[in-house]
């Protein structure tokens, strides 16, 4: 098997984009993005889409290729990404993938897990529960019955939360117990690179990034999207907090601090997800890219 997919993972704001471009240039490859927030063309500032000069430095795929009005599942992404990789491997046997969405990374590398069909009434009941008592009641339930999933999914996203709990309520088994039962066959081998830093460093980088987003017009971007705030694509950090501000529930200052806090929580969940993978080769985020390249070439 000559095809190799080099995947770069790590917490938000750790420097994955910069490294992916250096690797893509070195190996003359394209970049597959598996950041589930960057698929949507209406969400630029709040999802930290690569800058125009970064996009021009290497060919990127799956960045702002969908609309928030499109339903786009991880299963559809898996099929699209594999099809694109098959096309790219015909040109170059080494390709790059980058992103912090662990579920989407796993979908490409290992395939999706098979979950049982759920009676529609269960999802309806959970949706009504959120509407009546708020999201915290579901978060508390998930924490009690499935701590592994609680620690890895975006628990502030009601759709992810409902998905995890409907599995448990329907089967009595945890969402986590259905994962990683079997692996799909792929026509490439995988090398996984992780970027890491001390937690205070990561948190400081996140706080600075949010400040830059605000300066660059995140509030104005969110205001344009506010009429569509119920869409699944917009149930994400950076927008949801500002929607609360527009609703009059938060002050602007509090909303910004909530974006920082929830981004830090998201980074923590990313770390929990990726640290469970023993095949990731970890590097400090300040490591010389040439050292990373050397490690990769040794593995080829």
CATH number for the domain spanning 143: value is: 1.10.20.140
Does residue 142 sit in the same domain as residue 212? no
Does residue 52 sit in the same domain as residue 92? yes
Is residue 90 pLDDT above 80, yes or no?
yes
Does residue 99 sit in the same domain as residue 124? no
pLDDT at 191: 97
CA distance 269 to 150: 9
User: pTM for this structure?
Assistant: 0.84
SS3 196: strand
The parent domain of residue 130 ranges over: 120-178
Q: Look at residues 162, 178, 194 and tell me which one is the last residue of a structural domain.
A: 178
Does residue 103 sit in the same domain as residue 22? yes
| Cβ within 8 Å of residue 137, ≥6 positions away | 129, 130
Is residue 180 pLDDT above 80, yes or no?
no
pLDDT at 181: 64
- When pLDDT is cut at 50, 70 and 90, the band that residue 37 belongs to is very high
Does residue 10 sit in the same domain as residue 146? no
Contact 68, 98 (CB under 8 A): no
Candidate from 131-140, 198-207, 218-227 with smallest mean pLDDT: 131-140
Other beta carbons less than 10 A from residue 50's beta carbon? 22
Is residue 242 pLDDT above 70, yes or no?
yes
Q: Look at residues 178, 194, 215 and tell me which one is the last residue of a structural domain.
A: 178
Burial class (CB in 10 A: 0-12, 13-18, 19+), 274: buried
pLDDT at 182: 64
Domain count, the chain: 2
Is residue 157 pLDDT above 80, yes or no?
yes
Other beta carbons less than 10 A from residue 163's beta carbon? 17
Contact 152, 101 (CB under 8 A): no
- When pLDDT is cut at 50, 70 and 90, the band that residue 284 belongs to is very high
CA distance 165 to 3: 38
Other beta carbons less than 10 A from residue 257's beta carbon? 15
Does residue 173 sit in the same domain as residue 189? no
Share of the chain above pLDDT 70, in %: 98
Q: Look at residues 132, 151, 178 and tell me which one is the last residue of a structural domain.
A: 178
Q: What mean pLDDT is predicted for residues 229-235?
A: 90
Q: What mean pLDDT is predicted for residues 259-274?
A: 93
Adjacent-strand bridge partners of 60: 31
Strands 94-98 and 4-10: parallel
Is residue 1 pLDDT above 60, yes or no?
no
Report phi then psi at 298, rounded to 5. Answer: -65, -25
| Cβ within 8 Å of residue 176, ≥6 positions away | 146, 148, 149, 152
> Among 116, 125, 109, which residue's Cα sits nearest to residue 32?
109
Is residue 86 pLDDT above 90, yes or no?
yes
Angle at 197 between CA 296 and CA 154, to 5 degrees: 95
Does residue 102 sit in the same domain as residue 236? yes
CA distance 231 to 249: 19
Residue with tokens 């471009």, as numbered in its chain = 21
Is residue 108 pLDDT above 80, yes or no?
yes
Does residue 83 sit in the same domain as residue 8? yes
Is residue 97 pLDDT above 70, yes or no?
yes
> Among 33, 2, 23, 25, which residue's Cα sits nearest to residue 283?
23
Q: What mean pLDDT is predicted for residues 199-218?
A: 97
Does residue 150 sit in the same domain as residue 277? no
Does residue 95 sit in the same domain as residue 244? yes
Between 285 and 72, the higher pLDDT residue: 285
pLDDT at 115: 80
Between 155 and 43, the higher pLDDT residue: 43
Q: Domain of 236: which CATH number?
A: 3.40.50.300
Q: What mean pLDDT is predicted for residues 31-52?
A: 96
Is residue 113 pLDDT above 80, yes or no?
no
Q: What mean pLDDT is predicted for residues 257-271?
A: 94
Burial class (CB in 10 A: 0-12, 13-18, 19+), 172: exposed
User: Integer distance in angstroms from the first to the last C-alpha of the chain?
Assistant: 11
């Amino acid at each position: 098997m000559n095809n190799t997919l080099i995947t770069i993972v790590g917490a938000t704001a750790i420097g994955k984009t910069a490294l992916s471009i250096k690797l893509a240039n070195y190996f003359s490859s394209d970049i597959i993005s598996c950041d589930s927030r960057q698929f949507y063309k209406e969400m630029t500032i709040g999802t930290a889409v690569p800058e125009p000069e970064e996009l021009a430095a290497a060919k990127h795929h799956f960045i702002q290729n969908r609309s928030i009005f499109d339903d786009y599942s991880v299963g559809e992404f898996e099929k699209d990404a594999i099809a694109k990789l098959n096309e790219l491997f015909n040109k170059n046997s080494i390709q790059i993938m980058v992103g912090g969405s662990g579920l989407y990374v796993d979908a490409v590398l290992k395939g999706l897990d098979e979950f049982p069909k759920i009676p529609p009434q269960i999802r309806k009941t959970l949706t009504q529960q959120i509407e009546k008592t708020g999201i915290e009641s579901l978060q508390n339930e998930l924490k009690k019955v499935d701590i592994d999933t609680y620690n890895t999914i975006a628990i502030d996203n009601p759709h992810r939360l409902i998905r995890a709990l409907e599995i448990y309520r329907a089967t009595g088994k945890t969402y986590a117990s259905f994962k990683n039962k079997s692996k799909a066959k792929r026509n490439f081998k995988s090398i996984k690179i992780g970027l890491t830093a001390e937690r205070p460093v990561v948190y400081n980088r996140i706080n600075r990034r949010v400040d830059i987003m605000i300066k660059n017009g995140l509030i104005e971007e969110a205001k344009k999207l506010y009429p569509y705030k119920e869409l699944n694509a917009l149930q994400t950090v950076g927008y949801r907090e500002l929607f609360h501000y527009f609703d009059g529930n938060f002050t602007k200052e509090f909303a910004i601090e909530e974006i920082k806090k929830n981004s830090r929580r998201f980074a923590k969940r990313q770390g929990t997800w990726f640290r469970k993978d023993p095949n990731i080769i970890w590097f400090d985020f300040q490591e010389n890219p040439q050292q990373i390249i050397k490690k990769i070439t040794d593995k080829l």
